[in-house]
Structure 1
Amino acid sequence: MEKSRDIRGKYLVTTDPEEKFFLSAQQRCTFVWENTGNGLQISHIHISNPIGELKIAEDEAFPDTMGKMASHYMKEEILRLTSDRKLSVCDVNGSLMFLQLSDVMFISALGKETVVRTLTDCIFAKNSIKELAQQTQDCFVMTHRSYLVNPQYITAIRRYAITMQDGTELPVPRKKYDEIRRQILSV
């Protein structure tokens, strides 16, 4: 049985499009995953910054302030993305269901009802897409007036269509393509 595994990569950090300034920098990161009784869990995160971008704080012998800030940010993002937030859905039979937000691929409007799609299930709900959008506002992207999409499950985006992990293709309006693409890339 494998005890731990390192996963290394690079990512691009940019400021929020709403900010009045722009900053972009590439960082390297390493995640060490350990196989525990509860499955794989992250046991260590290391983030490296290019030396030219490191900030040395007063009385600091080694430039690690920026690294600590980046590590804190990354841990907060992982917590946000893997939290136990739930989506409450009233199915067509009147049962109230609680779904992990991280398990939902997308939500689509179907007349007055909605369809909540996970990798393994399709739930017909009485909730309007507007009600479900309020519950998913900081995690999902409204790619069309009839679709709320979880960016974690997007495998491709091209002009006027998004491909989901299960192969489903969802439309993207021509007039909003650039805006929606930016939203997806910033989540």
Structure 2
Amino acid sequence: MDTRKIVQKSVNILVEYYENNIQPFKDAMDDDILWIGPLQGQMIRGKKNLSDTYALEEHDLTFDVFDMQASVVYSTKQHCEVLLTFIVDTHYPDQSVIRCHQRVLLSWQHYIEHTESGKRISHDLIHSCFVSNAIPADTRDTIYPVHFTELPFSQEFSVAPSGRHITLLGKHKQQLYLLDKQIIRVQSHKRGSKIFTLDGVFESTESPSRIFSEYPDVFVRVHSMHLVNPIYVQSVRRFALLLQDGTELPIPEKKYTAVKREIAERLGISKLPKTKSQEA
């Protein structure tokens, strides 16, 4: 690959992008591109999905980009990775301006095709795009954020201490590494499960039965198809329970008393709250 050409093309795409012209970026997308944005939940696979998402975007933002540096971090005959670092100021309609120190890693793939006449055509496409915004750091810290809690905005990132981690098999040979306190419930789905957490829904190839056998101290089995984390049980009524996210799950009549007792014991209380309908 012509790395000099790839670097220049990467810079041009980013400059045009922040002038609100995304066409050069779209033209350079691989059909199977993976785009990972700087915000939580921003992960899109496939040129069509990403293009459709951009088509739905409407905004009045303008941008200023400066101090850009671009360099090749890895390259072969068929692959090239370009790292771009720069500062971007985002201008909002209310005249406010937000500054970010942004890093973009573009992974380019070189393709060679032959036409029916035998003509050789080559082109380079972006196979993945990873965008991240650097948060401010204490100048005394080099690698680990030893002094991060002394920064004025650190409380925005503060969370309760972590609990126990759960490892599950995800779809497409993924490995799921989840925090037990974040999991609300597990539901049977096809040949595996859906894992409902505070941050979203994950799919696992493991059944609720298998998950329960591995982590019986984390979940209560309220139904053959459902496991619940007892800390998210809001109330119970006859043969059903209500979770804090509003989900209502059935409890088999034969298991109702045992399930209710087990949840109460896990929560360290003598009796579970009843729903208003049951109290009435």
Relative to the length of structure 1, the TM-score reads: 0.55
**Percentage of matched positions with identical amino acids:** 28
Q: Aligned pair 1:90/2:169, yes or no? A: yes
Q: Aligned pair 1:139/2:227, yes or no? A: no
Q: Aligned pair 1:113/2:186, yes or no? A: no
User: Which residue matches 1:127?
Assistant: 206
**Aligned counterparts of 1:170 and 1:94: Cα–Cα separation in 2:** 30
Deviation at 1:149, TM superposition (A): 0.6
User: Which residue matches 1:154?
Assistant: 233
Deviation at 1:40, TM superposition (A): 7.0
CA contact (8 A) 1:89 1:125 kept: yes
Name stretches of at least 5 consecutive residues in structure 1 with no aligned partner. 1-35, 42-81
Q: Aligned pair 1:186/2:265, yes or no? A: yes
Deviation at 1:134, TM superposition (A): 2.4
**Aligned counterparts of 2:215 and 2:202: Cα–Cα separation in 1:** 16
Deviation at 1:103, TM superposition (A): 0.4
**Aligned counterparts of 2:177 and 2:251: Cα–Cα separation in 1:** 28
Q: Which amino acid aligns with 1:153?
A: Y
User: Which residue matches 1:104?
Assistant: 183
SS at match of 1:174: coil
User: Which residue matches 1:78?
Assistant: none
**Aligned counterparts of 2:159 and 2:222: Cα–Cα separation in 1:** 32
**Aligned counterparts of 1:180 and 1:166: Cα–Cα separation in 2:** 19
**Aligned counterparts of 2:236 and 2:246: Cα–Cα separation in 1:** 12
Deviation at 1:124, TM superposition (A): 1.2
Deviates more, 1:89-98 or 1:172-181: 89-98
SS at match of 2:255: helix
SS at match of 2:254: helix
User: Which residue matches 2:148?
Assistant: none
**RMSD between aligned alpha carbons?**
2.0
Deviation at 1:83, TM superposition (A): 5.7
Deviation at 1:123, TM superposition (A): 0.8
Relative to the length of structure 2, the TM-score reads: 0.37
Q: Which amino acid aligns with 1:133?
A: F
User: Which residue matches 1:169?
Assistant: 248
Q: Which amino acid aligns with 2:186?
A: I
**Aligned counterparts of 2:221 and 2:207: Cα–Cα separation in 1:** 14
CA contact (8 A) 2:193 2:208 kept: yes
- Superposed CA deviations along residues 87-114 of structure 1, whole A, max 9, x for unmatched, are 1122212110100011000001123110
CA contact (8 A) 2:182 2:199 kept: no
- Superposed CA deviations along residues 1-54 of structure 1, whole A, max 9, x for unmatched, are xxxxxxxxxxxxxxxxxxxxxxxxxxxxxxxxxxx968477xxxxxxxxxxxxx
Deviation at 1:181, TM superposition (A): 0.3
Name stretches of at least 5 consecutive residues in structure 2 with no aligned partner. 1-153, 267-280
- Superposed CA deviations along residues 46-90 of structure 1, whole A, max 9, x for unmatched, are xxxxxxxxxxxxxxxxxxxxxxxxxxxxxxxxxxxx763111122
**Aligned counterparts of 2:178 and 2:230: Cα–Cα separation in 1:** 17
Moved over 3 A (4+): 36-41
SS at match of 2:171: coil
SS at match of 1:162: strand
**Aligned counterparts of 1:167 and 1:40: Cα–Cα separation in 2:** 23
Deviation at 1:128, TM superposition (A): 1.6
Matched residues, number: 112
